[in-house]
Amino acid sequence: MTVEAPPLGAADVLTAARRTAGRIRHTPLLVAEGLPGILLKAEHLQHGGSFKTRGAANAMLDLAADHVVTGSSGNHGIAVARLGAELGVEVTVVVAGGAAAGKAATIGRLGARVIEVAGGVAHRDRYAREHAARTGAAFVPSSDHRSVVAGAGTVGLEVFDAVPDLDVIFVPTGGGGLLAGVCLAAEGLRGAPRIVGVEPATARRYARSLAAGCPVELPPSRTVADGLRGQRPGEIPLPIIQRRVDELIEVTDDEILAAMELLRRDGVEAEPSGSVALAGALRTRFTGRAVAIVSGGNTPRRCRADVR
């Protein structure tokens, strides 16, 4: 008899924060001179260069497996490979055709085995799951996993603790793990902020699934935000997002690149996927106090830590 796991909640995010203490970095909120009213949650300063370290660390520490397999377009694979090297865990990362060559090379340099497969992200993830089953390894997907979602939610914990008067938080949305985690972290907050997920216009798997009332798998898509080009919403993130997210909006590649250029002018060397939340904030012309999550990139030079 299979026992169904209880629904994820804010307590799981708190557990993840305790479990990963010492393995993840508490990233700062940055003030960019050219972006009044918007604070930037600097996950590009996270270990491994992206928020993905949070979910990967929570899952790998929870599983305590000897061999981990994942499918990733880059940042999650880098996070898993980096943690595997630290923990002495064998890591295999399956990448889809068209994945960023530089990120695949970084995964290999970190000691992981890299397998490239033809087809889109959905095929990549199916192959990774099957490979894990064949080899007896633990499968740690980039977003559709309870511990990964809870770990990603620690981003929200940090934001809500630092900005109790927050009006809106903009969250880049690909696999949905980060958006679902932020939704969990907001549970029980008084005067909870609006949570806005931001998707590339060509990869709106969550918006279309919510509109249809069931999971919708998209064909492989093209977008400059290569980390957000998945095809099918996750079984775990989808119901969380469905019950809590306030809005899902789209941004074009031109808007993503314009936001990336604004970030870089202020010293934040964000990648396109890491610029999507800011692109969404700029499109909505929000009023009030906002945070945009910079989910991945390189090192800032001119931004200063926000002090209040």
Both 23 and 171 in a single domain?
yes
**pLDDT for res 134:** 95
- 57 compared with 32, residue with greater pLDDT: 57
113-137 confidence digits (pLDDT tens): 999 998 777 888 899 999 999 999 9
Residue pointed to by tokens 């928020």? 51
Q: Is 52 a catalytic residue?
A: yes
Residue 92 backbone dihedrals phi, psi, to 5 degrees: -120, 130
Both 58 and 157 in a single domain?
no
Final residue in a domain of this structure, among 82, 114, 139: 139
Query: If we measure between CA atoms, which residue out of 106, 80, 102, 109 comes closest to residue 93?
Result: 80
Residue 3 lies in a domain: no
Both 35 and 76 in a single domain?
no
State the catalytic residue, choosing from 143, 147, 275, 295.
Answer: 295
Query: If we measure between CA atoms, which residue out of 266, 281, 120, 269 comes closest to residue 203?
Result: 120
- Separation CA 175–CA 145 (nearest Å): 11
Q: Which amino acid is at 130?
A: E
Q: In angstroms, how far is CA 262 from the centroid of its own chain?
A: 21
- Domain interval for residue 131: 52-139
State the catalytic residue, choosing from 41, 52, 103, 143.
Answer: 52
Please state, as a whole number, how many other Cβ atoms lie within 10 Å of the Cβ of residue 269. Answer: 16
Residue 19 backbone dihedrals phi, psi, to 5 degrees: -65, -40
Cβ–Cβ under 8 Å, residues 235 and 189: no
Q: Average pLDDT of the chain?
A: 90
88 contact partners, CB below 8 Å, separation of at least 6: none
pTM over 0.85: yes
Final residue in a domain of this structure, among 115, 139, 163: 139
**pLDDT for res 3:** 57
Alpha helix positions (H), 96-246? 101-109, 121-135, 146-152, 154-162, 177-185, 205-212, 237-244
Residue 1 lies in a domain: no
Please report the sign of the dihedral spanned by the C-alpha atoms of residue 256, residue 279, residue 74, residue 201.
negative
Both 28 and 91 in a single domain?
no
161-206 confidence digits (pLDDT tens): 999 999 999 999 999 999 999 999 999 888 889 999 999 999 999 9
**pLDDT for res 99:** 66
Both 209 and 267 in a single domain?
yes
Q: How many domains does the chain have?
A: 2
What are the structure tokens assigned to 43, written together?
């996950």
In degrees, rounded to 5, the angle at the alpha carbon of residue 155 between the alpha carbons of residues 294 and 127 is 80
Residue 64 lies in a domain: yes
Q: Quickly state the pLDDT bin for 98 (edges 50, 70, 90).
A: low
**pLDDT for res 208:** 94
Q: Is 147 a catalytic residue?
A: no
- 306 compared with 268, residue with greater pLDDT: 268
Both 106 and 25 in a single domain?
no
63: domain CATH number? Answer: 3.40.50.1100
Cβ–Cβ under 8 Å, residues 233 and 176: yes
